[in-house]
Amino acid sequence: MTAPRLKVSGLTLAVGTGAAGLTLLSELSLTLAPGASLALTGRSGSGKSSLLHCLGGLLTPQEGAVIWQPRGAAPVILSAAEEGARAAFRRQHLGFVFQFFHLVPTLTALENVAFMAELAGLGAPRERAEAMLEAMGLGDRCHAFPETLSGGEQQRVAVARALVHGPAAVLADEPTGNLDAQTAETVAEVLFTQTRAAGASLVLVTHDAALAAQADHTLALGGQ
């Protein structure tokens, strides 16, 4: 049997202290197989983004563990790792897609993608980025700066950036939340197709039921 790509056990996350404290996640456990996708849904404030951030080592849970099994490497308990080790893990084994793209405005589409490959310490970053953008259908927009790209194009560049270094998983926070329905559909298709093609797992946060339905698994948070 294949070891899960991600294992979360007994995860508890609270924000604030005392009377103002709020428990967002309580003793949550899950596993995700390599190449599988998981949609996190729920109403606003249910803790789905917080869970995604815990998975990415951006937030530290009070209890429980987030264990990643990267490709060809020993498992990593990310929730217990130090800040520097978490950053290193993210740049080598994870990819992120944000709702507002967050591309570097002074770098072209190609450079934005190549930058991630460079950050991960991979050779030939430019060639890798070119291939990735080509796969995203953006071969002719390589040298465009982000402000000249449409929202959908920017998000596809962001997906290319998330996959260029061959991560174990892609974490996407409302990846279509800032796009119109038609563009959202295109981006979702690219996201699922390319993630699967890269053999990476996908965890995405969304309010969009149609998008969530495309995932292999759905986890509804906040009592739903």
Q: Which is nearer to other proteins, 8 or 114 (CB)?
A: 114
Q: CB of residue 1 vs other proteins: minimum separation in angstroms?
A: 30
Name the site residues for other proteins (rule: CB under 8 A).
Answer: 53, 56-59, 83-84, 86-92, 94, 96, 98, 100, 102, 104-107, 111, 114-116, 118-120, 125, 145, 147-148, 161
Burial of 198 (C-beta count, 10 Å sphere; 0-12/13-18/19+): buried
Q: CB of residue 189 vs other proteins: minimum separation in angstroms?
A: 23
Q: CB of residue 100 vs other proteins: minimum separation in angstroms?
A: 5
Residue 115: DSSP 8-state? H
Q: Which is nearer to other proteins, 116 or 202 (CB)?
A: 116
Q: How far apart are CA 113 and CA 120, in angstroms?
A: 11
Residue ranges in the chain assigned as alpha helix (H): 48-55, 83-93, 109-119, 125-135, 151-163, 181-198, 209-213
Q: CB of residue 213 vs other proteins: minimum separation in angstroms?
A: 27
Q: CB of residue 147 vs other proteins: minimum separation in angstroms?
A: 4
Q: Which is nearer to other proteins, 86 or 214 (CB)?
A: 86
Q: Which is nearer to other proteins, 46 or 214 (CB)?
A: 46
Q: Which is nearer to other proteins, 89 or 192 (CB)?
A: 89
Q: How far apart are CA 177 and CA 58, in angstroms?
A: 21
Non-local (6+) Cβ contacts of 146 within 8 A are 101, 103, 104, 105, 107, 109, 112, 154, 157
